[in-house]
Amino acid sequence: MTATSDDELDEVYAFAVQLGKEAGDMLMGAARSRFGDAGQSEQAVEEKENAVDIVTKTDEAVEAFIKSSIEARYPGHKFIGEETYSKGSSREYLITDVAPTWCVDPLDGTVNFTHLFPMFCVSIGFIIGGEAVIGVIYAPFLNQLFSACRGRGAWLNETLPLPLVRNPVPAMPPQAPSGCVFSCEWGKDRRDTPDGNMHRKVESFVNMAAEVGGREGKGGMVHGVRSLGSATLDLAYTAMGAFDIWWEGGCWEWDVAAGIAVLQEAGGLVTTANPPEEPDTAEIPDVRLGSRLYLAIRPAGPSATESGRQGQERVVREVWRRVRSMDYARPGA
């Protein structure tokens, strides 16, 4: 592909932010139509439908809006959305190096949206040369808009730079994962298969949580364990510095493209969730967008003894020492 100029990128970024705001407002409108302060007769009709149907309709309507807006403005760009993808017959990885590509989840945190828990958002990623360079995440019930564009910083509500604490950005805790907030998700794969993904996840969660010295030395005694039900917002809060570590398997590129763009621009590190054979010495690979296996570390400043990047890599290895490999297949990635 031809390199995108700085001016073009600025324009695409402004377009993406506006698109995110409008799409988020659509989500909030659909949520609000179910509130008890809406006209009673209107709501009575709505709620006769299964809440899940309302959600599916909203999901599809918002994706159609985003897709058509992009096609009208940038007819040469490729579009990959969660909804259109799900209806296809395969889950092949479709992002190439060739065309600038939009990778969109119209509604991340679908279960939250169904239950009206505020942790839902629209997630818009823009990819050049296979890398997410723009990310826009809008959680309208929280009034939180996260956005980033390569070289232009990462922002909360367009005014607060990310990470929030930045003069200086705190170093990773010396005894990490102790002192860290650990974000993880139970996900949908709950098969009770011996040594299946659910049990591997839970074993990993417990290792990270248990007292130091426990779990045959694997106890990480993290400061807190959090599960929000939105991969996108997990990444956004990691970019903010609120979560130190996010570890997850099973989600898809539309769940993470925008979040990875925001996190990387904020100074975070993203690599693979699955530990290599030699976690203490293996090279730390850059994340592959379609890998379905993600480990994210928050932005970090230097300490007296190591650079920010060294601190992040130390934490990656400490996580790898405590977690199990997960088994998520991915055609074409």
The binding site for a second copy (CB under 8 A) comprises: 34-38, 40, 43-44, 47, 51, 111-112, 114-118, 142-144, 159-161, 163-168, 170, 181, 186, 190-192, 198, 202, 205-206, 209-211, 213-215, 219, 221, 223-229, 237, 240-244
Least separation in angstroms between CB 230 and a second copy: 10
Is 107 labelled a binding residue? yes
Q: Which lies closer to a second copy via its Cβ, residue 289 or residue 319?
A: 319
Q: Which lies closer to a second copy via its Cβ, residue 73 or residue 115?
A: 115
Q: List phi, psi (to 5°) of 33.
A: -65, -15
CA angle, corner 236, sides to 232 and 239, nearest 5? 140
Least separation in angstroms between CB 327 and a second copy: 16
CA angle, corner 121, sides to 120 and 127, nearest 5? 140
Beta-bridge partners for 105: 123
Residue found under tokens 């995440």: 137
Is 82 labelled a binding residue? yes
Q: Cα(226)–Cα(234) distance, rounded to whole angstroms?
A: 9
Q: Which lies closer to a second copy via its Cβ, residue 94 or residue 221?
A: 221
Q: Cα(35)–Cα(90) distance, rounded to whole angstroms?
A: 37
Running DSSP on this structure, what letter comes out for residue 96? Answer: -
Least separation in angstroms between CB 262 and a second copy: 16
Q: Which lies closer to a second copy via its Cβ, residue 185 or residue 253?
A: 185
Is 108 labelled a binding residue? yes
Least separation in angstroms between CB 217 and a second copy: 10
Contact between 295 and 301 (Cβ < 8 Å): no
Question: Residues with Cβ < 8 Å from 7, sequence gap 6 or more?
Answer: none
Question: From the annotation, which residues make up the binding site for Mg(2+)?
Answer: 82, 105, 107-108, 255
